[in-house]
């Protein structure tokens, strides 16, 4: 998190000063956190340099972006120096084909 533009405290201040209350137990997302090194990039657009350098998947397929049918699964946990762990389980979604506007109205 040392490369974030705003600290967590600044993010909370910005969030709450607009009149949006925070309560105990609320989850606050930071957005994509990246490193200055390629091994620490936080998104596909960074990993593939906006499509200029394809990512090679374990099956040999090359990708520049997610495609219809792809499934993304995020999990996370963190452990404090004293050994307490916090995290969340599967947060899964699948990329579906786009639908025409008439489907939404």
Indicate the number of domains in the chain: 2
Domain shared by 25 and 38, yes or no: no
pLDDT tens digit string along 84-94? Answer: 999 888 889 99
* Tokens read off for 67: 């495609």
| pLDDT class of 104 with cuts at 50, 70, 90 | very low
| DSSP secondary structure letters along the chain | -TT-SS-HHHHHHHHHHTT----TT----------SSGGG--SHHHHTGGGTSPEEPTTS-EESS--TT-EEEEEEEEE-TTS-EEEEEEEEEE------GGGT-
Domain shared by 3 and 39, yes or no: no
Q: Hey, what's the torsion of the CAs at 19, 21, 26, 28, to 10 degrees?
A: 20
pLDDT tens digit string along 60-71? Answer: 999 898 888 889
List of residues 6+ apart from 43 with CB closer than 8 A: 32, 34
* Residue 83 falls inside a structural domain: yes
Q: Where in the sequence is the domain holding 5, given as residue range(s)? A: 1-31
Question: What is the rounded radius of gyration, in angstroms, for the C-alpha atoms of the chain?
Answer: 18
* Residue 105 falls inside a structural domain: no
Question: What's the pLDDT at 105?
Answer: 42
């Amino acid at each position: 998190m040392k490369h974030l533009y705003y600290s967590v405290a600044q993010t909370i201040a910005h969030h709450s000063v607009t009149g949006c209350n925070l309560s105990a137990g609320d989850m606050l997302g930071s957005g994509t956190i990246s490193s200055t090194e390629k091994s620490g990039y936080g998104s596909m657009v960074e990993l593939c340099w906006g499509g200029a350098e394809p990512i090679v998947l374990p099956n040999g397929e090359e990708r520049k972006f997610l495609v219809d049918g792809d499934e993304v699964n995020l999990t996370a946990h963190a452990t404090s120096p004293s050994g307490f762990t916090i995290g969340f389980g599967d947060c899964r979604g699948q990329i579906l084909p786009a639908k025409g506007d008439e489907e939404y109205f």
